[in-house]
Amino acid sequence: MAAGGDRSAGDAGSPLAARLNYLFANMHPPGAPYTNGHVADEITNGEEYGEVGLTEQYLSMLRNGRRANPSPDVLRALAKFFAVPVGYLMGDLSASQAERVEEEVRFLVAMRDQRVRAIALRSVGLPPEVQDSLTTIICQFRQQMNLPSDPPDAGGEERP
């Protein structure tokens, strides 16, 4: 079991629990969120994760904050499974770096939608002023539908 050296946290609001729950909620195949059992089995049985043994129960404890200090091997395996930097789970990233990871996750989630991908791909190669016009048109549609001009958690940052 991966619980070796772990201390009880008793705090469901721990940063590790919050980050794991964020990844579970967002980093999964379309329409099929991962279960604790699935992730634990994949990590335990996958050669690419090394010799890490992870149980469904232990992963549940990490996600609900009852355990908050897993071994570095467990954190590396979880980070590899969810394709995020291990520093994100370890809490080693600055707030802006962690936000950048979550922004990339939101982007990947948006790209799951075939229609969103089609819109994005069709704008490739268009001059910047045309792309800006398309952004304005999309914002107008969102406003007409009483939606915020930017999707939730989009940050509103302009990209070069």
pTM attached to this predicted model:
0.70
CA 95 to centroid of chain Cα atoms: 15
Structure tokens belonging to residue 97: 């770096």
- pLDDT the model gives residue 160: 36
pLDDT at 45 over 90: yes
Distance, CA of 72 to CA of 67 (rounded, Å): 14
Q: Nearest 5°: CA angle at 87, between 110 and 60?
A: 75
Local confidence band at 153 (pLDDT 50, 70, 90 cut-offs): low
Phi, psi of 113 (to 5 degrees): -80, 120
Distance, CA of 134 to CA of 92 (rounded, Å): 38
- pLDDT the model gives residue 115: 87
